[in-house]
Structure 1
Amino acid sequence: MKKTIGEKLKLGIFSIVGLLILVVAIYFIGSRQNMFAKTFIINSNFNNVNGLQLGNNVRYSGINVGSVKTITIVNDSTISVSMAIDENMAIHIKKDAIATIGTDGLVGNMIVNIIPGKGDDRVVVAGDVIKSYTKIGTNEMLSTLNVTNENAALLTAKLLDIANNITDGKGTLGMLINDTIASYNIKQTIYNLKLTSIEANRTMKSINKIVDSINLNNSIAGLIFNDSIEAEKVRGIITNLDESSNDIKMVLSNLNETLLNIKDGNGALNYLSNDEEFVKNLEQTIQNINEGTSKFNENMEAFKHNFFTRSYFKKIEREEKKQQKKMNKDK
């Protein structure tokens, strides 16, 4: 069956439209992969690429500047990512720039973000390796949150136990909350401490007034503090007092030895202090001497009035009066 001219025309139009759609699609795909622009390669090493794939975008300060060219595992802890960057951006990316891996929005594809550096004016060239920073991935965050939740649960259980113990009056805190007597005693103690603090403050003020009232220029304290000569004299007095104290100690020691000798020896003082019979005899002797002296005085008085000896005593009395007058004149 021969095709009509209309069918051929429709087929031609369909083919042309399909070819145009194919060209446009190839252009857009090539545009995304930088197939039609001049690019240069820079690299960065990561510990974890977090699902980054070939062809994902590379952004510099939020602007698409290239795409991921290759992803190579260097070793068990290093992954090298090669990025095809638009050649026109070479003058903007510095050698101290930092590459990080993030997401395009909340749930979008993974992308490489290049953060501008600070302080280095040198621009990157093809083959350079820039520094990288690996952010915490979703899995790590979920793991950390899981551990945090477990710790929070354990902490809540322990806090509940503590609250129950406090409610039951267990422990010091429970006693303070539930025991009114202990609470009153603590309040009283704090009140007494407050009073003590007030009294101490008053005492310090009084001491400060006393210290301020001391005339350091004219008082003895001032001489001691300011005059080195007077201070040396005071030091000498203290030294002499110390030496006198030592001498007094020696005298007391000797006196103690003497008293011990008196107490334990055989001398007269020992008899006087310890022998009661000797003391009684001595008292009797003294009494007899006193009586003899009294009788002797009576006999002498009798001699003064006796006819034979009276003139002798009067003569002596006249001589004594003459001597007394002479002494009064000499004075």
Structure 2
Amino acid sequence: MEKTDSEKIKLGMFVITGLTLFVLVIYFVGNKQKMFGSTDHLTAVFTNVNGLQLGNNVRYAGINIGTVRGIEMINDSTINVDMIIDKPMFLNIKKDALASIGSDGLVGSMVINITPGKGNLPHIEAGDVIQSSNRVRTDDMLNTLSVTNKNAALLTADLLKITKEITQGKGSLGTLLNDTIMASDLKQTMNYLKNTSKGTTEIVENLNKTVTALGDKNSAIGVLNDPATAQKIRTIVTNLDQSTQEINKVVTNLNATILNVKNGNGAINYLSNDPNLVKKIDSTMTNLNKATILLNEDLEAMKHSFLLRGYFKKQEKAKQKAN
């Protein structure tokens, strides 16, 4: 059956519309995959790509600048990721930039995030390899969290056991908390320690005052710090030492004299032990007294003599004038 013109027109429009839609899809997909723009290759080396796939986005400072073009595993610890990046962005990425793999949101696809460098290095060139930093994987975090939960459970069990024993009065801490007598003794001990500490503080303050007084020249101890006073004290001590030596000599001589007296040597022993000599000395003193009396009488008689009377009067006048 031959088709009519209207059917042919409809078929033509359908084919044209389909081709147009196909071209638009190819354009948008290619534009997203950087197939029609001016791009160049950049490589990053990872130890684990964390589920990264071809076509995932590459971001620099939060801006989409390219896509992942290839993933090549070199060995068990080295994976090369080939990226196509817009050429204008090469001027903004420094050689010390870091590449890391993250997720686009909580459950989104994986993306490569390029963090700007902090140095003053030149920008990257096409085909360069940049450093990478591996983020902690979710599995690793879950494993760590699982171990942490187990440890927390063990700690909780031990803590419950300890608190139960404390409540029951077991152990030193339990006894201390439940024994009122021990608590009272401990409180009294703390009061004693407080009083002792207060007394110690006062002693230290007094000691500080005493030490401070050592440098005060107005105090008795501080005077010793005066060089002139110290020299005087040194001179006095030297003189005392010399006087002590002289006194020792005198005492030695006195001891010798006393020893001579005890041994019967010298005039003192003779005078103290000879009675006849004592009587003679007593008689001599008596005669001297009598002679003195007679001499006074003779002088009195001479005063009344007419020959010497004028002389004695002159003597009395001279004494009166002198007074």
TM value normalised by structure 1: 0.69
> Which position in structure 1 is the counterpart of 2:144?
144
Is the 2:52–2:111 contact (alpha carbons within 8 Å) kept by the matching residues of 1?
yes
> Which position in structure 2 is the counterpart of 1:244?
none
Is the 1:57–1:112 contact (alpha carbons within 8 Å) kept by the matching residues of 2?
yes
Instruction: Quote the RMSD (CA, aligned, Å).
Output: 3.0
After superposition, the C-alpha distances for 1:76-132 in whole angstroms (9 at most, x for unaligned) are 112111111011211111111111111111111100011111122411101111111
1:13 and 2:13 correspond: yes
> Which position in structure 2 is the counterpart of 1:173?
173
Letter in structure 1 aligned against 2:160: L
1:112 and 2:112 correspond: yes
Report the count of equivalent residues: 252
What is the correspondence of 1:46-85 to structure 2 with a 5 Å cutoff?
46-85=46-85
After superposition, the C-alpha distances for 1:4-24 in whole angstroms (9 at most, x for unaligned) are 222222211111111111111
1:322 and 2:283 correspond: yes
- How has the CA–CA distance of structure 1 residues 222 and 326 changed in structure 2, closer, same or farther, with 3 Å as cutoff? farther
TM-aligned CA deviation for residue 221 of structure 1: 3.5
> Which position in structure 2 is the counterpart of 1:287?
none
Structure 2: which 5+ residue stretches go unaligned? 238-274, 292-323
- How has the CA–CA distance of structure 1 residues 316 and 29 changed in structure 2, closer, same or farther, with 3 Å as cutoff? closer
Rounded to whole Å, the distance in 1 between the matches of 2:112 and 2:215 is 82
> Which position in structure 2 is the counterpart of 1:91?
91
Is the 2:213–2:222 contact (alpha carbons within 8 Å) kept by the matching residues of 1?
no
> Which position in structure 2 is the counterpart of 1:128?
128
Letter in structure 1 aligned against 2:283: K
Give the stretch that moved more between structures: 58-67 or 4-13. 4-13
SS of residue paired to 1:120:
coil
Rounded to whole Å, the distance in 1 between the matches of 2:288 and 2:171 is 103
SS of residue paired to 2:94:
coil
> Which position in structure 1 is the counterpart of 2:187?
187
> Which position in structure 2 is the counterpart of 1:32?
32
SS of residue paired to 1:65:
strand
- How has the CA–CA distance of structure 1 residues 225 and 76 changed in structure 2, closer, same or farther, with 3 Å as cutoff? farther
> Which position in structure 1 is the counterpart of 2:163?
163
- How has the CA–CA distance of structure 1 residues 22 and 221 changed in structure 2, closer, same or farther, with 3 Å as cutoff? same
Rounded to whole Å, the distance in 2 between the matches of 1:198 and 1:112 is 68
Letter in structure 2 aligned against 1:322: S
Give the stretch that moved more between structures: 174-183 or 315-324. 315-324
TM value normalised by structure 2: 0.70
Rounded to whole Å, the distance in 2 between the matches of 1:50 and 1:214 is 78
Structure 1: which 5+ residue stretches go unaligned? 238-312
- How has the CA–CA distance of structure 1 residues 203 and 317 changed in structure 2, closer, same or farther, with 3 Å as cutoff? closer
> Which position in structure 2 is the counterpart of 1:196?
196
SS of residue paired to 2:221:
helix
Rounded to whole Å, the distance in 2 between the matches of 1:197 and 1:190 is 10
> Which position in structure 2 is the counterpart of 1:302?
none
Is the 2:100–2:112 contact (alpha carbons within 8 Å) kept by the matching residues of 1?
yes
Is the 2:213–2:219 contact (alpha carbons within 8 Å) kept by the matching residues of 1?
no
Q: Percent identity?
A: 48
- How has the CA–CA distance of structure 1 residues 326 and 20 changed in structure 2, closer, same or farther, with 3 Å as cutoff? farther
SS of residue paired to 2:9:
helix
Letter in structure 2 aligned against 1:95: K
SS of residue paired to 1:73:
strand
Is the 2:99–2:133 contact (alpha carbons within 8 Å) kept by the matching residues of 1?
yes
Is the 2:48–2:134 contact (alpha carbons within 8 Å) kept by the matching residues of 1?
yes
What is the correspondence of 1:206-245 to structure 2 with a 5 Å cutoff?
206-214=206-214, 216-217=216-217, 221-222=221-222, 224-225=224-225, 227=227, 230=230
- How has the CA–CA distance of structure 1 residues 109 and 327 changed in structure 2, closer, same or farther, with 3 Å as cutoff? farther
Rounded to whole Å, the distance in 2 between the matches of 1:326 and 1:25 is 173
- How has the CA–CA distance of structure 1 residues 30 and 180 changed in structure 2, closer, same or farther, with 3 Å as cutoff? same
